[in-house]
Structure 1
């Protein structure tokens, strides 16, 4: 019995001793974060605009008289030279009008010749007193009237001839046909635009600028690229900026030409990038996702690294926002070299321990304190 009690007592003491033995320190999992290091530089205000390629010289062609289209000789995309025949109208009515004008001119000229002959006879009769001076003056007046009528009919004939010529539409410049708005057999009105001819030799970049970007746009540097070749960036210079906003869009149209002449496909989609450097303001570029708020002001989560530089704690730091660029934001405030959290800012909390990129994702609390 005594031996059993002694054994039980020893077991109890051993159990109590085991309970007092320190356990292994707990393992805490750190939240991994993506960070960037702040680097300050002069602010470059950059904007991107959707643009198109167009010819500097694009001419709307129209018949100077109306009528039925008898023939069309060109198609969209076809190159033409100055003087080439583009289309013809039915000219039967205009030729009839020309013939009628010629007949009227012949009649007017005959009346003028008769009036001249009558005046010459009256002049001879006036010298021997057979007719009065007033009769001779009336004959002279009729002659002048007949001559004026003949000249007017001559002008009418010339006008009729011109209208016959106007039934043939010719290219005023060399270029490429970019638009057709009529077909053979269609009746068109005088002055109705039917063909657009563009000069391929002088392409331009056309962009519409919002009013709030206007001043910055005027003093910027310009670069452009085509949607078909986004990696081929080329310099352009501002040639023309509209002085008045468009009524519907309230934007100002700008025309820019390549700094070095180069061929560009007309109608192509382009991207125009404007850059302006401010020497007075320095800022750092951060992803827009890094911005949060602190007391209603823009802020970022900054990481204070531990001595091991593998982990650290986060805290809020207010910043000044200088502008936005697509998915980026220009800020200033924290000193250069500060590590800023760039993703998952909504899950951050003051004092939260995080693992820096490339560091272990968990650490031993006791070991961290001992260090």
Structure 2
């Protein structure tokens, strides 16, 4: 009995050792920690080049001269010598008004002038005779003075008649309506045979100058010192006019190139903006009065600027930063935003040639392992619905 107990005591540890060995051999192998996965990103190199600075605003195209052609006398419109949309020059005859009454008045004024001149000639001869007779007291002093007064009266009458002739000639010139400016004829409002009055506010039509033409626009009041410097520049600041909001030099619809000519004499206190005007040569007539355009003004040039695409720079809580690639990892670099333009930003805090992440920043943190992608991203097109 004692031998059996000893045997049982010896067998129990042995059985435990055998069970422990079987469990150790049969337990699943511990999975090894996976290596960190590289994050795919796209990168660009910091470029160093000269960059022109621009400021943009919304403007309206205005004609430098736009005239509503109205009659200066009452009368019947006898002839229209231009067509709608026709280009005319300053001084070109546009229309005529019935002039028969004015010509008759002119002839009467000339006749009265001739009559008064004949009477004046006779009075001058008598005055000369009376003067000689007055020396020997052949006529009284009173008679001589009366003759002198008659001469003066006839001279005044002749001057009045000449003034009537001049006035009639002016009225006659009003029967020929000529263009005051070089431009384009608008839509007419009357036809031949209509009776025109000076009080008609509508006029016959308008003549609007198209080339050159102006664009008026507004900018924030903070731009006033810059505009003052540009307008005093003898080379004149370049102003570009685009239709729509796309002002990219390659893809935008450029309508014309002009120069800054005027800054308004006061700032609008309600909007905090100041108006300015630029003048454009418009031989192709792409700029049209009333058209809304986007203007870009070149305000300066940054020499040797560090340029990156807008997608590179990230906005932090306090300042801007970029992800710079070092080997297969990235680091955060604080940068200063110098200028934001269309399609490119100027920054400080990096070196020319630095490799910066331009796409894929959302998954990055300092020290992340990255894989640089070289091929362009695939564009997934949705299948058309049946």
TM-score after normalising by structure 1: 0.67
Is 1:48–1:271's contact at 8 Å kept on the other side of the alignment? yes
Is 1:126–1:136's contact at 8 Å kept on the other side of the alignment? yes
Is 1:69–1:183's contact at 8 Å kept on the other side of the alignment? no
Separation in 2, partners of 1:216, 1:82: 33
Give unpaired runs (5+ residues) of structure 1: 1-5, 307-311, 360-371
1:283 paired to 2:294 = no
CA shift, 1:136, in A, is 0.7
SS in 2 for 1:242: strand
1:67 paired to 2:83 = no
Is 1:293–1:300's contact at 8 Å kept on the other side of the alignment? no
1:1-371 correspondence runs (5 A): 13-14=21-22, 16-23=24-31, 25-26=33-34, 30-47=38-55, 58=65, 60=67, 62=69, 65-67=72-74, 70=77, 71-80=79-88, 83-91=91-99, 94-95=102-103, 97-98=105-106, 101-102=109-110, 104-105=112-113, 108-109=116-117, 112=120, 115-116=123-124, 119=127, 122-123=130-131, 126=134, 129=137, 131-171=139-179, 175-179=182-186, 183-184=190-191, 185=194, 187-188=197-198, 195-196=206-207, 198=209, 203=212, 206=215, 208=217, 210=219, 211-214=224-227, 215=229, 218=233, 222=238, 238=259, 241-242=261-262, 244-245=264-265, 250-255=274-279, 263-265=283-285, 267=287, 274=298, 276-279=300-303, 282-287=305-310, 290-294=313-317, 296-306=318-328, 312-313=329-330, 315-343=331-359, 345=361, 348-358=364-374
Measured at CA, do residues 32 and 230 of structure 1 come closer, stay the same or move farther in structure 2, by a change above 3 Å?
closer
Is 1:53–1:265's contact at 8 Å kept on the other side of the alignment? no
Is 2:323–2:332's contact at 8 Å kept on the other side of the alignment? yes
Is 2:40–2:360's contact at 8 Å kept on the other side of the alignment? no
Measured at CA, do residues 126 and 334 of structure 1 come closer, stay the same or move farther in structure 2, by a change above 3 Å?
closer
Which residue of the partner structure matches residue 362 of structure 1? none
CA shift, 1:90, in A, is 4.7
Structure 1 range deviating more: 27-36 or 45-54: 45-54
Separation in 1, partners of 2:199, 2:362: 66
Give unpaired runs (5+ residues) of structure 2: 1-13, 376-386
Deviations 1:300-326 (Å, cap 9, x if unpaired)? 2333342xxxxx34x432112211113
**Please, what is the CA RMSD of the aligned residues?**
4.8
Separation in 2, partners of 1:136, 1:334: 107
Is 2:71–2:197's contact at 8 Å kept on the other side of the alignment? no
Is 2:319–2:334's contact at 8 Å kept on the other side of the alignment? yes
Is 1:48–1:274's contact at 8 Å kept on the other side of the alignment? no
Is 2:56–2:294's contact at 8 Å kept on the other side of the alignment? no
Deviations 1:205-253 (Å, cap 9, x if unpaired)? 7565843542357468748587699679899675x63365477662332
Deviations 1:316-343 (Å, cap 9, x if unpaired)? 3211221111343210112333333334
Measured at CA, do residues 117 and 223 of structure 1 come closer, stay the same or move farther in structure 2, by a change above 3 Å?
closer
SS in 2 for 1:75: coil
Structure 1 range deviating more: 265-274 or 328-337: 265-274
- Give 1 or 2: higher strand fraction: 1
Measured at CA, do residues 247 and 47 of structure 1 come closer, stay the same or move farther in structure 2, by a change above 3 Å?
closer
